[in-house]
Amino acid sequence: MSENDQEPAESENTLWQRNVFVLWFGVFMTGVALSEVMPFLSLYIDTLGHFNKDALSLYSGAVFAISFLVTAVVSPFWGKLADRKGRKLMLLRAAFGMSVVLFLMGNVTNVWELLLLRALQGAMGGFISNANALVATQTPKQHAGKALGILVTGMTAGNLIGPFFGGVLATFFSYRTSFHITGIILFLVFILTLCLVKEEARPVSLTVAKSSTRVLWAGLPNKQFIVGLFVTTMLVQTVNTSINPIISLFVRELMHNATNTTFMAGIVAAMPGIATVIAAPPFGRLGDRVGTERMIKIGFMIAVIAFIPTAFVTSISMLMLLRFIVGISDATMLPAIQTLLSKNSPTEMTSRIFSYNQSFQSLGSVMGPMIGAIIASLFDYRGIFIVSALIIILNAVLFNITTRRKTETAAIK
C-alpha cells in the first residue's frame, strides 16, 4: 500500500522537474531569438535597400520596436485562449509560429517584409508567459519559487547570449543563415515541448471556461495587487533597458576611446544577466522561506544602492561591479513577482495574468530605451542612472501602497 502511494508522488516530483528542464531550454532559446538580431539588425536592413543614415535609423528602430508593441497587444488574447484550451497548446503554437517566422526572416527581399515578419514574431509570442503559467500551475506550491526562479535564468541567459550567438552566426555564416538556424532550433523546441512537457488537466467548470476576462477579473479578490505587480514588472524592465542606447558610448567615455571599447561594452552589458543567472535560483528558494514580498523590497534597496553610485563611476571595473549588483537585484525581484502572480491568480486565469504581465514587460522594453535616449540627450549618460534610481524608488513606493492595501483588505474580510 505504501509503495503504491509513493509511486504517484515520485512520478509527480519527476514530472514537474522535467517540465522545468524542458521549458528552461524553450525560454532560453526564445530569449536568444528575441535578442540575437541586436548586433546586426541595422546592418541586415542596410542590405535590403539603399538608405541614408536617418532612414536607416528610423527603419531599425521601427523593426526592433514593432515586435514588442505587438506582443503587448496580443498577449492577453493568447493568455485567455491558454486558460480555456491549455498552456501546452499555446506553447506549441508559439514555438512553431516563431520557428516559421524566424526562418522566413532569412528570405526577405525588402524592409517591409522584415517589418511584417517582426510584427508576426510578436504576434506569435507567448512562449515565456505560458511557460511561467504552466510551471506555476503544475509545480507543487512548496517548489514554485525555485521553479520560477530557474525559468527566469533561462530567459535572462538567452537575452545575454543572444547577441553573442547572433554575432557569431552572422560572422561565420551570414545574416540570412542566422535566421534559418534560429528557426530550426525553435522547431526543436516545438518537438521537445510536444514530446516531453506534460500538463495535467485541471477541472474548470463550463461556466468559467466561457466567462469573459472582464467577468473573471471583476470577481478577482486581489486585482489591485495584481495590477501593482504588472506596474512593478514594467518599471523594472524600463530601468533594465534604459541603458541600452548608450552603453557603448558610456564605456567609450570611461575608457577614453580605447581600441577594445566594443569588447568591454559587451562585458558590461552581460554583467546583469550573469548575476541574475547565478542568483535567481537560490533567491527563488529563499523567497519560498522568508516571503516573496520581502524579497521584492530587498531587490528595490539593492537596485537603488547600485544605480546611484553608477552615476559617479570613473573606472570600467567599478561599472562592471555595479552592473553585476543590478543583476542581483533583478534576481531578487523577477522570480518573486512571478511567484506572487501565481499565488494570487485562480487557476482558470493564470495564463491570462501572466500574459498581461508579459504585455507590461514588453511596454517596459519599449519605454526603457526611449527614456534612456531622451535623458542622455537632455543631461548626460550619467543622468540615466540617477533617473533609474528615482524610477526604482517610485516603484518601491507604489509596491508598498498596493501591498498595504492588500493586507488591509484581507484584514477586513
pLDDT in tens, 205-252: 444 555 566 666 766 777 888 889 999 999 998 998 888 767 777 888
Q: Which domain holds residue 300?
A: 215-413
Of the three residues 177, 201, 225, the one that is the final residue of a domain is: 201
User: Does residue 179 sit within a domain?
Assistant: yes
Do residue 170 and residue 221 come from a single domain?
A: no
Q: Kindly state whether residues 39 and 179 are assigned to the same domain.
A: yes
Is 2 in the same domain as 147?
Answer: yes
Q: Which residue has better confidence, 105 or 86?
A: 105
Would 305 be classed as within a structural domain?
yes
- Choose one of 169, 201, 233: the last residue of a domain: 201
Task: Show the cell assigned to 251.
Answer: 564605456
Segments in 247-349 forming alpha helices (H): 247-254, 261-290, 292-310, 316-343
Q: How far apart (Å, rounded) are the C-alpha atoms in residues 406 and 224?
A: 8
Residues 337-346: tens digit of each pLDDT:
888 888 887 7
What is the pLDDT averaged over residues 378-401?
A: 92
Do 150 and 252 lie in one domain? The reply is: no
170 & 252 share domain: no
Stretch 28-48: mean pLDDT, rounded?
79
State the Rg of the chain over Cα: 21
Residues in the chain: 413
Residues 103, 39, 60, 75, CA torsion sign: positive
Q: Do 233 and 380 reside in the same domain of the chain?
A: yes
- Is residue 17 a part of any domain in this protein? yes
In a domain, 58, yes or no: yes
Residue bearing cell 501593482: 228
94-100: average pLDDT: 94
Mean pLDDT score of the chain:
82
4 has a pLDDT exceeding 60: no
Same domain, 235 and 357: yes
Same domain, 17 and 157: yes
- Residue-level pLDDT at 158: 83
pLDDT, tens only, 167-201: 777 778 888 888 898 899 899 999 999 998 888 76
Residue 210 lies in a domain: no
pLDDT band at 6 (very low <50, low <70, confident <90, very high): very low
The last residue of a domain, from among 145, 168, 201: 201
Residues 194 and 300 in one domain: no
229 with 186, same domain?
no
For residue 194, the domain's CATH number is 1.20.1250.20
Residue 209 lies in a domain: no
Is residue 358 over pLDDT 50? yes
Q: Is residue 396 part of a domain?
A: yes
For residues 322-339, give the mean pLDDT. Answer: 88
Asked if residue 410 and residue 345 are part of one domain, the reply reads yes
Q: Residue 207's pLDDT is what?
A: 47
User: Which cell goes with 242?
Assistant: 534604459
As for how many domains the chain has, the answer is: 2
Examine the domain organization and report whether 132 and 268 are in the same domain: no
